[in-house]
Chain A
Amino acid sequence: GQQLNQSPQSMFIQEGEDVSMNCTSSSIFNTWLWYKQDPGEGPVLLIALYKAGELTSNGRLTAQFGITRKDSFLNISASIPSDVGIYFCAGSSGAGSYQLTFGKGTKLSVIP
């Protein structure tokens, strides 16, 4: 089945630093989504990507859909304490699939 490798597993950064995390897939995806999950809550959608090469921003967050359609990355600029949480990538191969495949998550800790 499809697998997503998300890295790094965890990160400790200083407040104000930039963060980068990525996901790679064993197969082609037509959609990439990035989510953030706080403890005890459901994942919250941050960014959705639909085209190879697409670069999309949402405030301090920027995500890109890789040209090969097998990877995506998420950057967070000028991190703040509320960025703490677990970030997940998710991909879908498109029509007929009707499911999202998730990475294992990147746990982000921000040191004030």
Chain B
Amino acid sequence: KAGVTQTPRYLIKTRGQQVTLSCSPISGHRSVSWYQQTPGQGLQFLFEYFSETQRNKGNFPGRFSGRQFSNSRSEMNVSTLELGDSALYLCASSLGPLGTEAFFGQGTRLTVV
């Protein structure tokens, strides 16, 4: 059974640009959540989707957005990139509502220059 797949693995962008990250959950999992990981702040919750609906959102500016498709695949978008957005972005999938076992992908390492 394939795990959570995130693409791309690495990304370098310039300040002011926008970026889209992709996440394919484990087959059959309908909940997808996104986290930002930085050395200073640790793992911070961005948002969670279930059946194409955003059910919860973390304390991030509106530049961070996401969506989920009917096949449960999810994308997150960051517009007007800032240097502080450099981080490892992790996607996790769960069979049911998050709060049960969440399985993470390898992450996308975003560097903003």
Binding site for B on A (CB under 8 A): 1, 30-31, 33, 35, 40-45, 48, 88, 90, 92-95, 97-105
Contacts and interface: CB of A to CB of B under 8 A. Distances in A.
Contacts of B45: 99-101
B101 A43 contact: no
Interface of B: 4, 6, 31, 33, 35, 42-43, 45, 48, 50, 55-56, 58-59, 90, 92, 97-107, 109
Contact of A42 (B42, B50, B107): B107
Q: Which 4 A-B pairs have the closest CB atoms?
A: A92-B99, A42-B104, A102-B43, A98-B56
Contacts of B58: 99
B100 to A, nearest CB: 7
Contacts of A101: 45
Contacts of B99: 30-31, 92-95, 97-100
Interface of A is mostly: loop
Contact of B43 (A44, A45, A88, A93): A88
A103 B44 CA distance: 10
B43 to A, nearest CB: 4
Nearest to A88: B43
Q: Which of A45, A99, A102 is the most central at the interface, judged by chain B CB atoms within 10 Å of its CB?
A: A99
A43 B104 contact: yes
Contacts of A97: 56, 98-99
